[in-house]
Amino acid sequence: MPTCRNTALPFAVAALFGLAACSGGSASAAPASPAPQTEQVPQDEANDRDPFASAIEDAEHLPGYFDLYTKEDGTLLMAVPADRLGEQFLFEAKVARGIGASGVYGGTMLGGNQGSIMSIARRGNTLYLMEHPIHFTAEAGTPQERAVELSFSPSVVETASIDATRESDDVHLIDVTNWFVSDLAQVSQRLRSLTSTGSGPGPAPNFDRGRSFLEDVKAFPENLNIVSTLTFRPPQPAGAFSVPDGRFITVSVHHSIVRLPEVPMEPRLADERVGYFLTAHKDFTADEEEHFVRYVNRWRLERGEPAGDGLYHPVEPITFYLDHTIPELYRPYFIEGILAWNRAFEEAGFRDAVRAEMLPDGADAADIRYATLRWNTSNQPGYSAIGPSVVDPRTGEILDADQLYEANMILGFRRGWQNLVHPQTALDVALGIEGDDPDEAEQALMEHRHMAGIMSDQGLFLKTILAARGELNDRGEVPMEYLGEAIRWVVMHEVGHTLGLRHNFRSSTDTPLDRLHDREWAEERGLVSSVMDYHAPNVALQGEEQGYFYSPGVGTADVWKVAFGYTYDADRALELARLAEVDGRTYGDDSDSGGMGAMDPSVNTYDLSDDPIAWGWERTEMVQELWATLPGTVLTDNTRYAELAGAFQALLGQYSQALAPSVKYIGGEYVYRTRPGDPGDRGPFVAVGRDRQLEALRLLTEQAFGPTAFQLPPEMLAHFGPQRWSHWGFTNNYQGRIDFPYHERIVGLQSSLLNNLLNPMRLARIRDQELRHGAENVVPIPELMDELGRAVWSEVWGGSTASVSSLRRDLQRAHLDRMTALVVDPPDRMPADARAVARSQLRDLDGRLERALSGGASMDAYTRAHLEEARDWIAKSLEAGLQSER
């Protein structure tokens, strides 16, 4: 058994804080290294011995990777053999117990998914904790190696005086309490979002040493785990509901010191055509012009005994352990999600490469010998599920992985009608343009921070479908048959991350639209070709046969990527990389899908099929039909009226995400990673045809900007009730209003679409594409602005109008606001041609408004005032625009 101890806390206080029990692994479940036993040093013997013995009197001895000694006053001593000075080890830190908000969740990594390489050095009577530069290398024994040593110095991150030395074996004893009861892991930087008073992060809160202490110390043969309870004092009380007293933000941090493999793993060179997380070095002996050498992150998997059919059993399989915190009801789906990857590893030459087991009784999920899947709760849904890994920075070898799954994701998916994501946010998420938060950058590397809410909204969408079809169970819940599909997919996705794989948001295009509900196709190739995609729930039209809601297993792109990373033959890996974009081997990741710079309409989140436009028509029409049935579906006996509003908002989010891919068709180009001579090479850029751009624009103008878009029956709107609870974690209003702000929700979504379509980067791209592909093959800026103006102002386009509805007036103001901004205050990087066309469009619109006012005797007072104001707005904007250019 490993040894451990809760220090500085009597038993009753330890129980109060919910500290982990001393635990460890069994011989059958972990490497067979002998586990040392806790040893108490007798006081009467210590007094008669050398200074080392005196220093550890009354201390509890925890033998391990480095021997540790703990004292009742909370002191932590470490024994450092002189012959191990300079020995490099891995250091990593993660949140042991967070605050359930603001990106500080238990189990999440601190400092990125790559640990630090450290060592202990001696100068005089002091030992120094040194952090070594890991990004710059050179081949051993070369002049370049010496140059690297001279150029890049390690950092001294902590120090400790030698308290005593045991002369018999030359072991130094140091007090390391302040190494771990400190902000060594830079938690304060993660907490800056709680101190913000504006749009960006605030100052880092101050570390409060007096309110911090060692919580738990454990020693294992391969690693040491030290958990500290750390308190930080913000400049003003934090407003997070989950922090009991905002004056003091207390976080537990899990520090690990890990033995590095004695023989480094043979690395696999990365290839940009195949999506893996990377370990990158600048190797000054490399032949590459920029000296960069990039390795894929992967587990060490070596051939063992032959397994038939040309396959081999691994010497040591990749074993994932299910923590007992996972509810028993869901465990079968977790196991299925893990074992699904064995199909991919057979293509790499291994049989039964991946195993799933329950964490043995007495084992500790924090022991680096156990890669675990754990269940987690939080006050605010933050990530749905994440799969961080610890890697050897020298080679990219994955040494540990501890996946976390939020209870909120599954509970929200299955029950209730509560909407968790603002519809406009759902659109921004799909387009990858929501605001950047540096404190959550590490988390965003693994999973989208809105994914938990979106998964819940997908469940609500699915629940609405099933309710309308009479397929809910007798408790009004989504049946486990369907929930199980979602759980299995999420687990496959997170296990994929811990195998080293990045997202693959192009994989949905590998499935033809007419195959979405072909179960045989999905079982053989995947509903989408990679479980590393985020795909929308696959729902059949009324009366059609229903296929899988979520991908039932790993897909063709997953098999290809695992074969590349884990095949024993490096030459075969290179051959596999050259098959990119051939027969279900597509790849496009976060950098291709998100932000205003994203230009490929085939790389999207939350879409389906090789025809996102046709799928968008189907999905938006499906949601429109569901809106009409919502009152009868949701407002059953004794339900709350607020549930109707929540259900509507969730469906509105699904509606907006179905529109999102079409935005990228406008001024879009297909972007590929293939190289010249590859079988699937199409060049780096392929134009999106003019016809496809016009199809996408038609979907947007009709379903988002058309005269009947978002028109709901008044009696339905009248039943959008408020949340009647008012306490922490709940509000009884909608951003200050008791009634539902329908206009605000709709115009917010429409404004986001307009801002994206008229973004300066998109307009600049259109001009470049006219040169690259010919003006006749694109939708030029004048045509784009003309089509948008025609759709938004359809009531006045013919020269005469009656009344314009309030929803339409809000949309027209949003459009006018954007167009006048292009003239009066052009954004950075806005092409001058776009400003000139916008001015021309405003002049044309002014003439149409004038004719509408002169011929619109029957229009109501709202409409006349609105059109008159629009003309005044245009006149002032045109004049101001001319003044700003002089």
Element containing residue 458 per DSSP (H, E): helix 451-468
Across 68-94, average pLDDT = 94
The yes-or-no verdict on residue 593 having pLDDT over 50 is yes
Across 631-655, average pLDDT = 86
CA gap 839, 842 in Å, rounded = 5
Encoding tokens for residue 442? 């590490």
CA dihedral defined by 225, 226, 229, 235, rounded to 10 degrees? -100
Q: Which of 278-282, 683-687, 795-799 has the lowest mean pLDDT?
A: 795-799
The yes-or-no verdict on residue 4 having pLDDT over 60 is no
Query: What is the tens place of the pLDDT at every residue in 798-847?
Result: 765 778 999 999 999 999 999 999 999 988 889 999 999 999 999 999 99
Query: What is the tens place of the pLDDT at every residue in 439-452?
Result: 333 333 334 444 55
Q: What is the pLDDT of residue 440?
A: 37
The yes-or-no verdict on residue 12 having pLDDT over 60 is no
Q: What is the pLDDT of residue 750?
A: 96
pLDDT band at 188; cut points 50, 70, 90: confident
Most confident of 158-167, 382-391, 877-886: 158-167
The yes-or-no verdict on residue 13 having pLDDT over 50 is no
Q: What is the pLDDT of residue 685?
A: 92
Q: What is the pLDDT of residue 106?
A: 64
Q: Which backbone phi and psi does 89 adopt, to 5 degrees?
A: -140, 165
pLDDT band at 33; cut points 50, 70, 90: very low
pLDDT band at 101; cut points 50, 70, 90: low
The answer to whether the CB of 671 falls within 8 A of the CB of 587 is no
Q: Which of 27-31, 205-209, 570-574 has the lowest mean pLDDT?
A: 27-31
For the chain, give the percent of residues with pLDDT over 90: 55
The yes-or-no verdict on residue 456 having pLDDT over 60 is yes
The yes-or-no verdict on residue 759 having pLDDT over 90 is yes
The answer to whether the CB of 799 falls within 8 A of the CB of 790 is no
Across 136-162, average pLDDT = 87
The yes-or-no verdict on residue 392 having pLDDT over 60 is yes
pLDDT band at 289; cut points 50, 70, 90: low
The yes-or-no verdict on residue 331 having pLDDT over 50 is yes
More confident residue, 7 or 425: 425
What letter does residue 545 receive in the DSSP assignment? Answer: P
The answer to whether the CB of 194 falls within 8 A of the CB of 238 is yes
Name the pTM for this structure: 0.85
CA gap 282, 144 in Å, rounded = 12
In the predicted model, what is the mean pLDDT of the chain?
85
The yes-or-no verdict on residue 454 having pLDDT over 50 is yes
The yes-or-no verdict on residue 472 having pLDDT over 80 is no
Residue labelled with tokens 């974690």? 729
Q: What is the pLDDT of residue 726?
A: 76
Across 373-384, average pLDDT = 64
Q: What is the pLDDT of residue 451?
A: 52
What's the number of CA atoms in the CB half-sphere (13 Å) around residue 54? 8
Residues 6 or more apart whose Cβ sits within 8 Å of residue 882: none
Query: What is the tens place of the pLDDT at every residue in 707-738?
Result: 999 988 888 888 888 877 777 666 777 777 88
Amino acid of residue 752: S
CA gap 636, 371 in Å, rounded = 45
Residues 6 or more apart whose Cβ sits within 8 Å of residue 481: none
Q: Is 609 left (phi over 0), alpha (psi -120 to 50) or beta?
A: left
Q: Which backbone phi and psi does 8 adopt, to 5 degrees?
A: 65, 15
Q: What is the pLDDT of residue 449?
A: 43
Q: Which residues of 714-723 are buried (b: 16+ CB within 10 A; e: fewer)?
A: eeeeebbbbb
Alpha helices in 473-567 (DSSP H): 480-498, 519-525, 556-566
Encoding tokens for residue 369? 């010998």
Distances in whole angstroms, Cα of residue 427 to Cα of each of 94, 430, 624, 763: 32, 5, 17, 20
CA gap 320, 211 in Å, rounded = 37
The yes-or-no verdict on residue 403 having pLDDT over 50 is yes
The yes-or-no verdict on residue 14 having pLDDT over 50 is no
Q: What is the pLDDT of residue 288?
A: 62
Q: What is the pLDDT of residue 173?
A: 97
CA gap 687, 778 in Å, rounded = 8
Q: What is the pLDDT of residue 111?
A: 66
More confident residue, 661 or 41: 661
Distances in whole angstroms, Cα of residue 613 to Cα of each of 393, 529, 609, 698: 43, 19, 9, 10
Encoding tokens for residue 224? 């040491």
Most confident of 434-438, 459-463, 632-636, 742-746: 742-746
**Residues facing 375 on adjacent strands:** 405
For the chain, give the percent of residues with pLDDT over 70: 84
More confident residue, 98 or 552: 552
The yes-or-no verdict on residue 18 having pLDDT over 60 is no
pLDDT band at 463; cut points 50, 70, 90: confident
Encoding tokens for residue 262? 């004695």
CA gap 661, 678 in Å, rounded = 28
The yes-or-no verdict on residue 353 having pLDDT over 90 is yes
CA 862 from centre of chain? 45
Across 486-495, average pLDDT = 92
Residues 6 or more apart whose Cβ sits within 8 Å of residue 716: 627, 630, 631, 644
pLDDT band at 875; cut points 50, 70, 90: very high
